[in-house]
């Protein structure tokens, strides 16, 4: 995770752009698309069918007859006097995203609870709280759509091997898309530093 001089994690706020069935997983998963509130970068996270449907219910303002699991969890937090303040997609490793939920308890202490991003986002949309991602996650996984539209065959840079990233860089340079090439080059350099 990237930290500034004070040890504070650098993060950006995201919002849910949309949700669609994942073609690669034969409808078993959903692709959740998040975009920077103040920017053009987007990240895509594959979420399970249950979590995808749970998020979609809130986005489409649909009500269920009985509370589903994420409703139950929200109701439990509130019944115990707590509240969700925000969620943070904190890291990405081997294409897998990791998140935490910041919950404020009755003693006004902030508790950071480890969570899958899909569950954390399902709760964030229910509480109406910010969704953040660290700069590292956004830099590693984001796509910027511009005039030359960089289209990835995989969901994010994190899913590419180093060799595949090198091939991608070569093909982007051949198209003279220097802005996208600079982003891929930066991902390659960070990957080499971490290995």
Q: How far is Cα 7 from Cα 180, in angstroms, rounded to an integer?
A: 30
How confident is the prediction along the chain (195 residues), in pLDDT tens digits per residue?
344 444 566 899 999 888 876 555 455 678 888 888 888 888 888 888 889 889 988 888 888 899 899 999 999 999 999 999 999 999 988 888 999 999 999 999 999 999 999 999 999 999 999 999 998 898 888 876 554 455 565 556 677 777 777 777 777 766 666 667 777 777 777 777 766
Lookup: tokens for 161: 């091997």
**Domains (range + CATH), the chain:** 11-134 (3.10.690.10), 141-194 (no CATH)
């Amino acid at each position: 995770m990237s930290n500034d001089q004070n040890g504070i994690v650098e993060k950006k706020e995201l919002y849910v752009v949309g949700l669609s069935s994942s073609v690669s997983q034969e409808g078993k998963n959903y692709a959740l698309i998040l975009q920077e509130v103040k920017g053009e970068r987007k990240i895509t996270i594959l979420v399970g069918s249950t979590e995808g449907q749970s998020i979609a219910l809130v986005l489409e303002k649909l009500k269920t007859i009985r509370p589903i699991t994420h409703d139950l969890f929200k109701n439990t937090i509130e019944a115990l006097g707590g509240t969700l303040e925000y969620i943070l997609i904190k890291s990405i490793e081997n294409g897998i995203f990791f998140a935490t939920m910041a919950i404020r308890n009755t003693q006004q202490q902030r508790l950071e609870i480890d969570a899958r991003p899909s569950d954390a986002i399902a709760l964030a949309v229910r509480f109406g709280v910010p969704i953040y991602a660290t700069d590292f996650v956004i830099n590693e996984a984001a796509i910027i759509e511009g005039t030359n539209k960089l289209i990835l065959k995989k969901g994010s840079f994190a899913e590419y091997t180093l060799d595949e990233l090198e091939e991608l860089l070569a093909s982007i340079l051949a198209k003279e898309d220097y802005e996208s090439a600079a982003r891929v080059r930066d991902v390659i350099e960070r990957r080499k530093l971490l290995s």
